[in-house]
Structures are given as structure tokens and as C-alpha cells.
Structure 1
Amino acid sequence: MTTFKDQRNPGLSGSSPKLSIAEILEQFTEGDLPVRFSAYDGSTAGAEDSEYGLKLTSPRGTTYLATAPGDLGMARAYVSGDLEIEGAHPGDPYDVLKMLGDDLHFKRPSARALATVTRSLGWELLRPIAPPPQESLPRWRRIAEGLRHSKTRDAESIHHHYDVSNTFYEYVLGPSMTYTCAAYPTLEASLEEAQENKYRLVFEKLNLKAGDRLLDIGCGWGSMVRYAARRGVHVIGATLSREQAEWAQNAIAADGLSDLAEVRHSDYRDIVEGDFDAVSSIGLTEHIGVSNYPAYFEFIKGKLRPGGRVLNHCITRPDNRSSARAGGFIDRYVFPDGELTGSGRIITEMQDVGLEVRHEENLREHYAMTLRDWCRNLVDNWDACVAEVGEGTARVWGLYMAGSRLGFERNVVQLHQVLAVKLDENNDAGLPLRPWWIG
């Protein structure tokens, strides 16, 4: 049974008493609160013996929660340090998020209850305030950066997420410097083994061999570029992140691969070379906008020689009906302008531009495991990460990755690889009859 202890408001004679913060929380939750809750006004609620607790430390946190209900308000309070999670490391709040997701249920209060809540908080706490500095502008205000998915606005969105700090990403991602889903050969495999296996899988699906030419769009820090170049493939990579491109070019030089590989700070649409044997797109589709899929896949087709292959690897929805737009937290703090749709829509758009789809598979469970391991790295390197980017930004990544892990586990999102080929003039794919790679 939920219990409340309110040491602030004994009530006023002749009028209904104002509610404490804990009592306000009760107005919006259904059933017992599964974790401890305490607030700066001295009120408490929830399961006192719970392993986990939520602690609201300031009126500013109340304002964030009240003026942006849902995940955005909670994220603002948490990132700013006004909402603390007790019993869980900020680098990996997975366990408490899972508990809240399983057992915390919200309800819509009556109009009378809402009026009491409003009077209890007072207009001062209900007046919107500036969000934490880690938050990007809302979609409607990003117009100053250009129309959605214009080159200018896409560059700014990528800058927001990827130009945080190469050193920070080294701590979180590990030596592979790979910020996309790994492919675990076994349940016991390490993150590095799984990322190496993912690149092997992409390489083999594309049926690449020494002397071939590969275009890797949205190449990040160039791990796929270097993997292919080490096997004799000539590779051009493109990324909108200047910091990624500089890091990748240095890594290419250090590996002695400069005669085979190049990573450009460039929009993929500005690549002028063509006649590639293969195109890999690993984690880019999420950023380009669903309405741009026809042009995106037409561009890829135009870069391939007849018989050339494309491997598209991206996060998807579990259906093709849901809204493509991300929720408030993801859109403002993680991937501005990011959009997701189902794998069926992706396959349809590839087919409609004339690419023949040969294979697709869902690596949903693999992404949950990848996020688990990234969170582990963040926890292990927490002090260094905070020193590098600040605690607020480090909290964003812990919250985002732990929450995303839950999303993949619960089939809220998936990860699909789709392999397709550009047929020649005789409709010949030039491929073996059956899958030729090791799964």
C-alpha cells in the first residue's frame, strides 16, 4: 500500500488543504508506486523497502515535470540533476527504468483534481523555464537551420549528436569506435568480437573481394571503411561529422591504409564518384527522413554498377503504421529530426526504385546486447566521461542507452539489415543461388 508522509501542509481551516508533492504524484499514478519517492518539501510516497528511489530535489524539477509531461519533462529534471535515481548508476539506469516500465501506470486526473494540483503548485512553478543546455530546439524552431532534412539542417542535427567528443565516444564505444548494432556470434561474445563480426557479416553479404570499390555512407569513425580496406577493397566513406572524419582519417593513416581508404567530411549527396561494386549504409537511414527514402535509394542505385549490391542497416519500427517521428526526449536530446518506420516500408522503397531485395534479417536482440555493453563502458568510465563532457551530457547518454535497450527487448524498435542488388540489363543479379555468408 502506498503511504504518504507530509510534513509541510497541515491544511487550512475552512478550505481544502494544498497537496504535497507526493500527494500530487498520487493524482497522476494508478495503483502503488513501485519505488520510493521523496521530494524537497519533505513528503514521501511509494514502496519504502524498494531497492530504487526517485528523489525530486528542487522546485525547478517540479517545473520541468509539470510543464512538459511525459518523457521530455522527466528527462529535463533528470539531466539537470533535479531528479535523482537512487540505487542505480546514472550511466546505466536500466533496472529502475525496467521496474517503472513494468509497474508504474499513469492515469488522467479529474478536472477537480487538476484544479487542486494547480492551486497547490502555484503559477510560479507552472511557468515554463529554459530547458537544460543539452536540449536542442523544438522542431518548429529549427527552421532557422533550414528545412527539415536539407543539407544544412541535417549537418546541424548530426553535429548535435556526434560532435560531442571523440574521447567521450572512445570511452563508451570501446576500441571499435562503432556506434551501431553489433552482431553477437554467441551470448558470451564481447562487444569488440560482436562489432568485428558485424563488419564481417556486412562485408560478406556484399560479396566483396580485393580490388572491389565500396561506398560507405554515414560511415561514422570509419570502422567499416578500414575493415574493407584491410581486405584490399578501395573505399570512400562519407560523414557529416567533422570530428568523426578527422578521427577516421587519422586512424586510416595509422593503419597504413591511405592508398585504399578515405573518409570525407561530406554529405553523402555530394559524392560524385560512381560505378561502385557495393554501397553500405549502416545507421544512416534513421537520419534522412521517411519522405526522402525514394531519393535516398535512387541515389544509391545510381552509384552502383550493374550487379552492384547495397546493404542497408537501420533501426525500424515493428510495424509500418506508427508515426515516424521520435518522442520528445529522443528528438530534443539524442537524434533531432530522426524518423523511423517499419522494415516493410524500407523494402518497398528499395523495390520501387528498381533494386531487387535478396535478403533481410532482424537483429533486434543484438542491439539490446550492444546497448547493455555500451552502458557498461559508460559506468566503468563514468568519472572520465563526466570530466570530458559534463555530468548532464553523460546522464543523457546513460538514460538514452538504457531506455533504448528496453525498447529493443520489448519490440518497441527493431534493427533490420536489408540486402539488395542492381540488376544488369538482362535482369541478372550475378549472385550465388543461396546465401553465401555465415550468419
Structure 2
Amino acid sequence: MAETIHHVLGEPAGVGVVAHDGSSAGDLGEGARVVRLHSPRALAYIASHPGQLGFARAYLQGDLTVDGMDEAYPYPELRLTAGFNPQVSLRELPDLVRVVREAGVKITELPELPELETPSELRKLAHGIRHGKRRDAEAIRHHYDVSNRFYEMLLGPSMTYTCAVYPRDDATLEEAQAEKYDLVCRKLGLRPGMRLLDVGCGWGGMVRHAARHYGVSVLGVTLSQAQASWAREKIEAEGLSGVEVRHSDYRDVTERGFDAVSSIGLTEHIGVRNYPAYFGFLRDRLRDGGRLLNHCITWADPAHVPMRRTDFVARYVFPDGELASSGRIVTEIERVGLEVQHQENLRQHYVRTCAAWCANLRDNWDACVAEAGLATARVWGLYLAGSVYNFECNSIQLHQVLATRTSGAGEADYPLRPDFS
């Protein structure tokens, strides 16, 4: 039994497998990472989806563990195994199914983890077109409406769920998030009296920073009701004026003539095929000479295969999420007639950001479990640890792209040699 699972893992060096029946395979020596299957059900999960999803489900249900792996901060151990790409060929699948049957488990009786799964109606074509307004709203609720209290413990006081920018090596997460918002403001050239549109505004960190420190009037929109409510309460508590946060799809914004538009962490939810409409919509919200700052996760490899429905992140974290390369982002921005002025890769900053979130989850583990449930906390521990790994090994990156709505006469409100420091 253990040999079968070790083979599915690709027989990696330094990794062993111990099955519930006492069988073992691979490296079990000192320093090895030992994957332990604690019940026949672990085998059934792996057989039902013999890739990332099967192993993740077994872990989330407590049927699979890795020696030394802290639930709240699995990164040190995950780093040695995250590069695995468990796959089973059609030729090998019967052997895996046979092992499961011998263990007396029926795959059809496996729990589907309904409290974690993307809502079943999202998976039905009848529910709505992919990246249609209704379906996007469901996807956002699945990810962001977990619990504001849970996110406060995970993200820290800034309630900012996007890549921070560390101004120095010893900067705290809060200092780095403030620096990120300020960097965006500087790139957008914000000045008192300007109007800013922040699409996908989350819990309102950018709108509050821009209003407080740059004296601009700001409209923020988010599809998450929980985020909008939290942001409005914070805006009122801080006594900020000229700031509005709407619970709305960005496509329902009718106002135009903004001096600047910020999109921080929204592009991942848009869908690559919708980039022309998305960037065209943002262009149309800008005045001539206005600036757009797009901040999003990208594939490092332009030829990377899109996320599949059977990937762990697509199933449990970001339903309908899609990434593209930075080159694709720049190309699509240029195709709608915007002029790209500057781009920057902040990948190494996201390594540190995700590691800081992992540490927050670890430090608040019991309270997070009490608030959102053990399975949800495990999803986040696994997801964030995997994110640290993928940013660290340059599988994914974080790019900020700055563009202007340059007029037909070639005029743009942009300096010859900008200084964003």
C-alpha cells in the first residue's frame, strides 16, 4: 500500500510513506519527511483525485500528515514536498483503485467537505457564465466572506490582503502594507483635490490611506458585503470625509473623469479572456492624462498552463481565479490604448508577506480555529505555505504596471523622470 502512494508522489528522495496497515516505502531515515496515511479513507481521497486535490483533501480531513508539519505553519516541511506533482497514468490507476478496494473503502461514500468546497451551483453552467456578475459575486463571497474576525487575526491590523512592500529589512508587516499603499499613491501622482477610483477595494486600506495622507476623494468598490461593512465602519471611526465604499461590481460604476484608478489584487478574479473589456472599462473611467496602477499576481512563465479545476487553490481558495504573465498584462493594457509608463516585479516582497501571514495564523491558531473551523484554518495554512514556496521559487510573481490615458496629442500628466522613492 505504501509503495503505491510513494510511486504516486514520484518516488522523491528524502521522503517516505507509512500507510495505516503498517507498510512503508521510501526514505524513513533521520531527516526524512515521512508522509503518514492514518486511515483507509486517505487512500480513497487520493484515488478519487490522484493529484493535488486528493492529497489536500486527505490532509484537510486529518487522514494524512507529514512528520514535523505544524498545521498552522506547514511551510518548512511543505517546502521539501511542494514541488511534487502527484499524477497517476491511466495504466497505473487500476492498481491504485485495487489498493483502495482492498482497504474496504468506497470512493462514493467520501465526504466532499461541503463547508469548504466552492458552492455546488458555481460548478453548474446553468448558474451563470464564467465571470458573469452573479457568478463572480458567488466566487468572491466564497473567499472573502469567511469572517472579518478571522481575517483580522490572519492579516493583522491593516486588514490588507495583497502584497506588502518592505521599505527595509526589519520592517514590520504593518509598516510594509502602509508603504505599499503609499507607493501606489506616489506612482499615481495623487494630490489634494484629485478623484481616485479603487476597484476591488477590499477592507478599504487603499481608500483610507489615499484620503488621509493625500487629500483625495475616493470611491472604492468591492463584491464582498463583509468587506464593505468593515470598511465603512472604519471610515466612520476615523472621521474621513470624501470617501465612499460601495458593495458593488466594478462594472456598475457609472462615474467617469477620475484622475487615477487603482486595481490592487482584482485582476486575478477577472479572467484572462475578459482583460480587453476590463482594461477598456478602467480606461473609460479616467480623464485624459489620468493614471492606472494595476497590481496583480502573475505567472513567471508566459507558457504556464492555467489553473485547473482539480488544483487545490482553484477548488478551495480562488474559484474561477486566473493568472497571466506580466507580458500579457502589459499587452492587454496597451491594446486598449493606454500607455505603459512603468512596471515593477515585487515577487520577493510577496515571499515575506505570505510568510508574515503564516506566522499570524500560527500565533492565533486556536482562535482562528474557533472562529472559522479547523478545516478552514487548515486550508489557509496549506494555501499560504504553498504561496510562500511558489513565490520563493519564482513560479509566480507580483507585478505593478503603471499606465496613462495619454491624449491623442500625446499629452499625459507624467514627469520626464519620475521618482517614486
Aligned to 1:122: 101
* TM-score, normalised via structure 2 length: 0.93
Change (3 A) 1:215 1:42: same
CA contact (8 A) 2:256 2:286 kept: yes
Q: Does 1:380 align with 2:363?
A: yes
Aligned to 2:277: 295
Give the 3-state SS of the residue equivalent to 1:122 in structure 2.
Answer: helix
Structure 1 distance, partners of 2:73, 2:298, is: 23
Aligned to 2:383: 400
Change (3 A) 1:140 1:252: closer
Structure 2 distance, partners of 1:424, 1:28, is: 57
Give the 3-state SS of the residue equivalent to 1:347 in structure 2.
Answer: helix
CA contact (8 A) 1:27 1:109 kept: no
CA contact (8 A) 1:364 1:415 kept: yes
Aligned to 2:251: 269
The aligned runs of 1:130-145 (5 Å cut-off) are: 130-133=111-114, 134-136=116-118, 141-145=123-127
Structure 2 distance, partners of 1:252, 1:161, is: 23
CA apart distance, 1:39 = 2.4
Change (3 A) 1:275 1:140: closer
CA contact (8 A) 1:290 1:341 kept: yes
The aligned runs of 1:166-205 (5 Å cut-off) are: 166-205=148-187
Aligned to 1:43: 23
CA contact (8 A) 1:360 1:418 kept: yes
CA apart distance, 1:58 = 1.7
Which string of whole-angstrom CA distances, capped at 9 and with x for unpartnered residues, describes residues 11-55 of structure 1? xxxxxxxxxx21322443554652443222222333242364322
- Which one of 146, 155, 159 corresponds to residue 164 of structure 1? 146
Point out the structure with max Rg over C-alpha: 1
Aligned to 1:15: none
Q: Does 1:83 align with 2:64?
A: yes
The aligned runs of 1:57-136 (5 Å cut-off) are: 57-101=38-82, 111=91, 115-122=94-101, 125=105, 127-128=107-108, 129-133=110-114, 134-136=116-118
Give the 3-state SS of the residue equivalent to 1:310 in structure 2.
Answer: strand
CA contact (8 A) 2:263 2:295 kept: yes
- Which one of 298, 302, 322 corresponds to residue 320 of structure 1? 302
Aligned to 2:228: 245
CA contact (8 A) 2:122 2:135 kept: no
Give the 3-state SS of the residue equivalent to 1:119 in structure 2.
Answer: helix
Give the 3-state SS of the residue equivalent to 1:335 in structure 2.
Answer: coil
Q: Does 1:357 align with 2:340?
A: yes
- Which one of 419, 427, 439 corresponds to residue 402 of structure 2? 419
Structure 1 distance, partners of 2:219, 2:289, is: 19
CA contact (8 A) 1:138 1:332 kept: no
CA contact (8 A) 2:368 2:377 kept: yes
Structure 2 distance, partners of 1:54, 1:91, is: 17
Greater shift after overlay, 315-324 or 261-270?
315-324
CA apart distance, 1:56 = 1.4
Change (3 A) 1:24 1:31: closer
Q: How many residues align?
A: 415
CA apart distance, 1:78 = 1.0
- Which one of 277, 281, 292 corresponds to residue 263 of structure 2? 281
Which string of whole-angstrom CA distances, capped at 9 and with x for unpartnered residues, describes residues 332-377 of structure 1? 1000000111111111111111100000011111111100000000
CA apart distance, 1:96 = 1.1
CA contact (8 A) 1:35 1:48 kept: no
Structure 1 distance, partners of 2:350, 2:46, is: 30
CA contact (8 A) 1:183 1:198 kept: yes
Structure 1 distance, partners of 2:94, 2:282, is: 56
Q: Does 1:340 align with 2:323?
A: yes
Structure 1 distance, partners of 2:328, 2:224, is: 27
CA apart distance, 1:97 = 1.3
Structure 1 distance, partners of 2:58, 2:294, is: 37
Give the 3-state SS of the residue equivalent to 2:327 in structure 1.
Answer: helix
Structure 2 distance, partners of 1:225, 1:336, is: 26
* TM-score, normalised via structure 1 length: 0.90
Aligned to 1:4: none
CA apart distance, 1:139 = 9.4
Give the 3-state SS of the residue equivalent to 2:105 in structure 1.
Answer: helix
Consecutive unaligned residues in structure 2, runs of 5 or more: none
Q: Partner letter of residue 174 of structure 2?
A: E
Share of identical aligned residues, percent? Answer: 54
Q: Does 1:217 align with 2:199?
A: yes
Greater shift after overlay, 352-361 or 51-60?
51-60
